[in-house]
Structure 1
């Protein structure tokens, strides 16, 4: 499964994300036809519209945008380290062959023993691989939430600078918490939170996934330094690196 990256503002690389998340970002207006994207196997960064057919986006339109010189082609990120498990399987004792046992019967016994060993090894590998895949899938969802909140961050900082106070839901340009429901986001509260910082509180919805459902991601804005900080009550292994405690 190819991993995708996109350049936020055509300057900052974001990812990796699966193809369906790139499609979700485009559908929700977070990225546009001229947003630069790259996937494993691509020679260089190209506008999203260049991958429209591959991503199943026939409605992508807009003029092609050249890659800015400040954003060089990037090599594919190294694949995640695979934990190799060495299973020591003792050699089975030689089967007692009755007098007159045919060669076909001996071969059948050997094939059966080897088959049991292979099944045991595959079961162990599957037990290791599935949790890692699940962890990656949930981390992709929280990364998507963080990307979706990107536009609101700019609006909050601009309002705070102009009005010298934190905006709240219902202020000009800001909707109700429920109006921001989108995918994994159930609602977004805007205001002043713990520590006196302006910020955003995104409540998550993921029925059947207790690791994320009803959890929250907070983005705190320090008006003194004009910087943002991410925190969450989601376990660190399901969060982007810059949002971990």
Structure 2
């Protein structure tokens, strides 16, 4: 993943503080390493509610965040909040991407769309969702996936309101949560919250479940690399990273 022997640089806008350390870790886990530029964006309230998430993911907040990435040499950029994207629907996501691309003049995407593209890449048509969100937000993610013809066999709700609390969950709890919310007919398990740490445990998750696992920070990083046009298959980050990108 190099261009003229230059390190790939990718940008991420990340609301608040929770599991943002996954991104520089992911940059170190691939070969060759990737330069990660991560900017924390502002919002009015840390809450998994439609109102709070809609404000968090508004074009105004995204545009504010892009200012710190201007001139950094990034080759792609991601809005990395799954829920502060899918709650806005596809038209809202298109506005988020348009805001990113107009501000930074590089290819852009969101974590929500990254899940859709990643699912297609690994051939996941029937999935289980292990969501840390409250029930209504988990249901909205289910509906979002179904709008792209992904069948959701089972979905869970851990009922956590704030991203900050999700970020405190430790390895054993994350592994157990994934195992408890798998189901036999699912092609893959989706873990959609970017506030949840997962980067260091993806291979272990897949070994436990014996199937692909897609986590929010994993698919965000993959999508950023895919958009640069310089992705090459990797060994340490699960089934998704072993596949060639089209």
Q: Above 0.5 in TM-score?
A: no
Q: TM-score, normalised by structure 2?
A: 0.26
- Structure with higher Rg: it is 1
Q: Higher relative CO (CA 8 A, sep ≥ 6), structure 1 or 2?
A: 2
Between Structure 1 and Structure 2, the one with more helix by share is 2
Q: TM-score, normalised by structure 1?
A: 0.26
